[in-house]
Amino acid sequence: MATSDKASTRDRLLDAASELFYRDGVSIGVEALCRAAGVSKRSMYQLFASKDEVLAAGLERRLPAYEAQLILPEQEPGTPRERILHVFERLEKSAAQPTYQGCPYLAALVELKDPEHPASVVARGAKDWMRDHFRALADQGGARDPELLSRQLMLVFDGANARAGARVETLDGLTTDTVTLLLDASGLA
């Protein structure tokens, strides 16, 4: 098999994994995954040692697009407060879409329950990255306790993702209003 064929097979597997795991959860079987990707199980196992590795690689691959969807680019102007609120405005906009099922990284952590699972490691890294992003902005904005504020923002972020993803809550300004109260209480400029 040529290198471009392997890359194509790998891309198809990761695309299918990303879509299926997000839509249906991590319990999707190898057969369904391979069928959706249009590849044989043999081909999958030539590229990945297990379905667990496919899930982890799929989550890793989707991370840049996920971050870009939420984070205001560095080159765009914005205060730390505006940058934090931007994340929650983007979350509210995404949550209003009919295909929205919550945060794929939170879903993986909740479904897998195994902190050592390769996909849990990737998902926890994504969550740590977001918390660190909030903490850096809180520090830049002069929050009294940037660590505490970053944890509070993650609680709102993950809670909103879970409730909106489960279709038990519409966000419609709820997260931005809540976050504004937290930012004000924290002393963030």
Amino acid at residue number 12: R
- With a CB cutoff of 8 Å and minimum separation 6, the contacts of 36 are 16, 19, 20
Residues 133-156 pLDDT 10s: 999 999 999 999 999 999 999 999
Q: Residue 1: what pLDDT? A: 45
Residues 37-59 pLDDT 10s: 999 999 999 999 999 999 999 99
Q: How far apart, in whole angstroms, are the C-alpha atoms of residue 154 and residue 108?
A: 16
Backbone angles phi, psi at 72, to 5 degrees: -70, 125
Q: Residue 4: what pLDDT? A: 53
Describe the crossing of helices 51-70 and 30-37 by its angle, rounded to 10 degrees. 60
- Radius of gyration (Cα) for the chain, nearest Å? 18
Residues 82-98 pLDDT 10s: 999 999 999 999 999 99
Q: How far apart, in whole angstroms, are the C-alpha atoms of residue 121 and residue 57?
A: 11
Identify the structural domains of the chain with CATH numbers, from first to last. Answer: 1-48 (1.10.10.60), 52-186 (1.10.357.10)
Q: How confident is the model at residue 7 (pLDDT cuts 50, 70, 90)?
A: low
